[in-house]
């Protein structure tokens, strides 16, 4: 289930305070689930040997039918100030935080090498 709740409050004519909270979901795509396989080559930098670049490194990737949806919780709070004493001026400030669980992503060849280093 995905949902969103928002609230706006105007304590004075010039100031609007707003906030939202939502639960967001993204299901894996058909490609991410059932890709039969792709192969190619890449260039990688080897930090173990003084950052030497190697080209033509063979790569392969496939889909993963065991993937589950990713979930995100988003929090936003903000304010807009439009002063009557200065026509045409609008100011806005926003803060947001996004927490993501079970993210669906691919790891690059270089990231794998860097993490091992």
Distance CA 50, CA 56 (A): 19
Percentage above 70 pLDDT, the chain: 100
Tens digits of per-residue pLDDT, 67-108? 999 999 999 999 999 999 999 999 999 999 999 999 998 888
Report pLDDT for 9. Answer: 98
Mean pLDDT of the chain: 94
E-strand ranges in the chain read: 3-12, 15-26, 38-46, 52-61, 70-81, 91-101
In this structure, are residues 18 and 9 in contact, taking their beta carbons and an 8 Å threshold? yes
Distance CA 112, CA 116 (A): 6
In this structure, are residues 24 and 90 in contact, taking their beta carbons and an 8 Å threshold? no
Average pLDDT over residues 5-15: 97
């Amino acid at each position: 289930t995905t949902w969103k709740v928002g609230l706006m409050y105007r304590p004075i004519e010039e100031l609007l305070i707003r906030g939202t909270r939502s639960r967001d979901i993204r299901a894996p795509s058909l490609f991410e689930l059932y890709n039969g396989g792709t192969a190619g080559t890449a260039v990688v930098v080897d930090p173990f040997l003084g950052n030497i670049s190697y080209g033509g490194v063979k790569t392969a990737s496939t889909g993963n039918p065991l993937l589950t949806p990713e979930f995100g919780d988003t929090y936003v709070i903000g304010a807009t100030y439009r002063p009557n004493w200065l026509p045409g001026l609008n100011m806005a400030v926003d803060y947001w935080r996004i927490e993501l669980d079970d993210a669906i992503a691919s790891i690059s060849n270089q990231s794998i090498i860097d993490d091992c280093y």
